[in-house]
Amino acid sequence: GESVGLHLPTLSVQEGDNSIINCAYSNSASDYFIWYKQESGKGPQFIIDIRSNMDKRQGQRVTVLLNKTVKHLSLQIAATQPGDSAVYFCAEKNQGGSEKLVFGKGTKLTVNP
């Protein structure tokens, strides 16, 4: 069956350091991979997405890398700030078929001042 998982449930970094959050997926048919950030008491917030025909995409302070060979996705956050503390989810979406998002379990990022 399809599944999207995460390697680590928690990640703690120092303010100013770079953070790397990893994700493994199993559905080769997924067209889009998306990262969401969820702060306490809030719904998930879209961060960045990457299409399956790309291997890298950059946003503001964030970079997503996609390695289809090993079915691995990562989110890199540069100069991590206390406001980045949240749970991060990767999700996959199949553009051609079901439009549902399949989420991973999430990684809790804690930024220490």
Partner 1 sequence: KAGVTQTPRYLIKTRGQQVTLSCSPISGHRSVSWYQQTPGQGLQFLFEYFSETQRNKGNFPGRFSGRQFSNSRSEMNVSTLELGDSALYLCASRELTGAVEAFFGQGTRLTVV
Task: Give the binding site for partner 1 (CB under 8 A).
Answer: 32, 34, 36, 41-46, 49, 89, 91, 93, 95, 98-106
In the complex, the smallest distance separating the C-beta of residue 91 from partner 1, rounded to whole angstroms, is: 8
In the complex, the smallest distance separating the C-beta of residue 14 from partner 1, rounded to whole angstroms, is: 27
- With respect to partner 1, which residue has the nearer C-beta, 46 or 112? 46
- With respect to partner 1, which residue has the nearer C-beta, 84 or 106? 106
In the complex, the smallest distance separating the C-beta of residue 17 from partner 1, rounded to whole angstroms, is: 27
- With respect to partner 1, which residue has the nearer C-beta, 15 or 39? 39
In the block, which residue shows the tokens 């990022």? Answer: 109
Which of 69, 57, 60 lies closest to 25, judged by CA?
69
Which of 31, 37, 3 lies closest to 93, judged by CA?
31
In the complex, the smallest distance separating the C-beta of residue 105 from partner 1, rounded to whole angstroms, is: 5
DSSP for 2-55?
A: --EE-S-SEEEEETTS-EEEEEEE--TT--EEEEEEE-TTS--EEEEEEETT-S
